[in-house]
């Protein structure tokens, strides 16, 4: 069954949740707790849709001059079966020089590059490489509430880290052992907190 625990496939969402708190992945993937959509997530989607419509009216697209952008690919479903990873990328830019750049939009109160945001960007860079056969060395995190763009380097080591993350998550799921909670400060916004014993 595609995307099941049995086939060992990991999603970019799993990686993000793992770096928020490994217990979230445990409850969502091992225990089958349904992921609920939080109001902040819904609002972020609304903002993302508005941003997509306004994007082409600007002189630059996510920090790149419009004349350098060949194509804007939106809502891109990506899957790399050989590494067991899949995800849905908000936007990918194809520059006229052939460079591919993953863009991930965040709706948050602070312009703060969190570890899970970086891991998400690295995972999308890896998926783009697998799909198009081109090296991806940069990515963008766009903070839509503040309308701020961060263009970030993506190294070979960053992408290798994602491969290790995939194996770590697969192993955790296969063992079915409850991982330790990382921080009780994060519990307040966690949709699985009522199931969590930490």
Domains and CATH numbers, the chain: 10-189 (3.90.320.10)
Contacts of 102 (CB under 8 A, 6+ apart): 89, 91, 92, 121, 124, 125, 128, 136, 139, 140
Distances (CA, A) of 103 to 75, 96, 167, 187, 193: 10, 16, 25, 28, 30
pLDDT, tens digit, 9 for 90 and up, residues 30-55: 888 887 665 455 555 666 566 666 66
pLDDT, tens digit, 9 for 90 and up, residues 52-91: 666 656 778 899 999 999 999 999 999 999 999 999 999 9
Please tell me the pTM assigned to this model: 0.86
């Amino acid at each position: 069954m595609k995307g099941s625990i049995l086939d060992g496939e990991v999603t970019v969402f799993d990686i993000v949740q793992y770096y928020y708190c490994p217990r979230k992945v445990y409850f969502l993937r091992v225990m089958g707790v349904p992921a609920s959509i939080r109001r902040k997530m819904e609002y972020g989607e609304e903002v993302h849709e508005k941003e997509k419509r306004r994007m082409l009216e600007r002189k630059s697209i996510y920090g790149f001059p419009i004349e350098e952008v060949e194509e804007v690919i939106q809502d891109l479903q990506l899957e790399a079966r050989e590494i067991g990873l899949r995800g849905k990328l908000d936007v990918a830019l194809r520059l006229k020089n052939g460079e591919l750049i993953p863009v991930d939009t965040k709706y948050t109160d602070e312009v703060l590059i969190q570890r899970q945001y970086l891991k998400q960007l690295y995972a999308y860079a890896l998926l783009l490489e697998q799909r198009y056969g081109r090296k991806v060395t940069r990515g963008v995190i766009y903070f839509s509430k503040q309308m701020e763009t961060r263009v970030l380097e993506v190294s070979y080591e960053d992408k290798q880290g994602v491969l290790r993350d995939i194996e770590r998550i697969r192993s955790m799921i296969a063992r079915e052992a409850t991982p330790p909670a990382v921080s009780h400060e994060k519990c307040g916004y966690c949709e699985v907190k009522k199931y969590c014993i930490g």
